[in-house]
Amino acid sequence: MAESSSTSRLSLVTRHEASTISHMTDLSRWSIFSILEPDVLTSIKKVCVFGSSGNEAIFLTDDDDVYAIGSNCSSCLGLGDTHSSFTPRKIEGLCKKKVVDIAFGSGPHVLAVTENGDVYSWGHNGYCQLGNGGSNQGFQPAIVNTNLQGKKVFHVACGSHHSMALTSEGEIYAWGQNNCGQVGTGTTTNQPTPRKITAVIGCRTVVAISCGQTSSMALMDNGELYGWGYNGNGQLGLGNNVNQPNPCKVAGALSGLIISQVVSGYAHTMALSDEGVLYSWGANSYGQLGTSSKANQVYPTKVERTERFVEIAASHYTHISAAMSQTGKVYMWGQCRGQSVTSPMLTRFNCVDDVFATFSAPPISWRTYSVEHVSGSRIAQNICKAFDDPVTADLKFVVEDREIHVHKSILKIRCEYFRSMFQSCWEEDGKDTIEITQYPYSVYRAFLQYLYTDQVDLVPEEAIGLLDLANAYCEPILKNYCEQIIKQGITVKDVAMLYAAAIKFEAKVLEEFCFRFALNHMTAVTQTEAFTKLDECVVKEFIRKAALAGAFKY
């Protein structure tokens, strides 16, 4: 059986989203938001915090209005003037445009992308980083037309004074300062307008980009990583300190791996494999590589952790790094409020964004952050606390000889299955104790707790049982939660079993995810015990799909 070629393998990377994993953060952690009125804070849906001291911010509201607040250095707030203000002011040129992504440079200059794929730029322009063909400062958002007209951009990234845009077709355009080759044109001449990067990568599809101060990275759809620009600290991961004006493939420890995420710090880079293994390289004077030392690394180096990571974070503005594990734990390392932390340190945060708001210097946002507002109502809090409370409960489930205390009214409100069960025509309606034998205790408890809290607290290994339950009880939202948990914990060893389960429970998104993962690790997967136990029909369908995806081409 021939393994698929690198050009036909499809990666597990999804298109850039403002918030890959949904978690709530407290906006007041960023000091610039702490002075806003509560009604303003609750209307915010996206934020971008930047500036040399974290003193500038742009935010979007539920009404699709765009506001700016802060010191307005180099007219980076896009308000048409140079006035600073602690009172939010509208950026009129972006209101009602449905902005989906914002990036910023060190000048600072700012880029914004709208839902229809248009790119706007403003702010500092001494190195042509606004892409308008000149070097005059931009006081208001102006659309970047040259070479991007007709292209749908969905993500932008900025280095110190250069800019990059990624289109829905997987093309990269770059412009601005190019003294170290960071624009990828093969020269060191500044680029005044967007120019498509084709050297080395040709017409291959790019799925993610990131910028260090004067370096650039691109992730291909087959999981391969390329870097170019300044390499004085080894941040390109090429095994040397030579600047590169054209994209170069990052190999070494990444050879044969499928990379699913890449982020860039000031002068270091981190990459996450599709199996949750973290690699870092580049500058390490503050411990930002997480390798328990301060020695620079010119090759990708594995960050030794027992937990699997599902999200990594860094910004070209800082020397701090952060990551989230599959169990929702958030770690940080590097320059944390002036201290050097050389290995991942567990925090009490529930999202990586809080690390940058609280411990980064300056306190900036590493991405356009989508705010998840959760009402602090006492009703919601009290309902959460009422779960498994024998004092107020009027019903208990017995699972594996263990009791779970609940309230019929809450179950009926939250779940159609229980609404039908607790009717006079059902035997269960008159009972105060119901025994459950179809599911294990941990799974059934997690399900009932979800009905009270809207949260799922299960490890990936147990989530497959909850997926079965969610499918049986017709709970599509819970089913989606389970799929997300399972995806974060997939390994070569169990992907075949999970693929079969996804088919059985009609979890189409999970099925496709498992298939792509198995395709990327075909040889190893086909030798696992789980694969040998697959039903014959499932194996035939898998082989058929793999053939269509080019797995057996020589």
Domain ranges of the chain: 27-370, 375-458+466-481, 490-554
How far from each other are the two terminal CA atoms of the chain, in whole angstroms?
A: 10
Residue with tokens 């079965």: 468
Helices 460-472, 495-504: inter-axial angle, 10-degree rounding: 10
Q: What is the pLDDT of residue 356?
A: 97
Please state, as a whole number, how many other Cβ atoms lie within 10 Å of the Cβ of residue 144.
26
Name the CATH architecture for the domain at 27-370.
7 Propeller (2.130)
Q: How many residues are given for the chain?
A: 554
Strands (E) in 134-258, as ranges, are 138-143, 153-158, 162-167, 172-176, 191-196, 206-211, 215-220, 225-229, 244-249
Output the CA torsion 249→255→259→264 (10° steps).
Answer: -50
Question: Is the distance from CB of 308 to CB of 284 less than 8 angstroms?
Answer: no
User: CA-CA distance, 323 to 347, in Å (whole number)?
Assistant: 10
Residues 6+ positions from 378 with CB-CB distance below 8 Å: none
The SS3 assignment for 504 reads helix
Mean pLDDT by groups of 10 residues along the chain of 554 residues: 36 38 64 90 94 95 97 96 95 97 97 98 98 96 96 98 98 98 97 98 96 98 97 98 98 96 98 97 98 98 94 98 94 97 96 96 94 62 92 96 96 94 79 94 96 90 92 94 92 94 92 95 95 95 92 76
User: CA-CA distance, 104 to 158, in Å (whole number)?
Assistant: 6
The pTM of this model reads 0.85
Question: Is the distance from CB of 343 to CB of 291 less than 8 angstroms?
Answer: yes
> To the nearest 5 percent, what fractions of the chain are helix, strand and coil?
25, 30, 45
> DSSP assignment, residue 36?
S
Q: What is the pLDDT of residue 25?
A: 53
Please state, as a whole number, how many other Cβ atoms lie within 10 Å of the Cβ of residue 39.
7
Residue 118, both tokens: 């248009």
Q: What is the pLDDT of residue 199?
A: 96
Residues 6+ positions from 201 with CB-CB distance below 8 Å: 172, 218, 220, 226, 247
Residue 326, both tokens: 């599959």
User: CA-CA distance, 109 to 370, in Å (whole number)?
Assistant: 21
Q: Which CATH number describes the domain made up of 490-554?
A: 1.25.40
Q: Tell which residue, 214, 218, 221, has the closest CA to residue 243.
A: 214
Question: At 380, phi and psi to the nearest 5?
Answer: -60, -45
Q: What is the pLDDT of residue 461?
A: 82
User: CA-CA distance, 94 to 217, in Å (whole number)?
Assistant: 28
Angle, alpha carbons 284-285-289 (nearest 5°): 25
CATH class entry, domain 375-458+466-481: alpha beta
The helix (H) or strand (E) run that includes residue 119 is strand 119-123
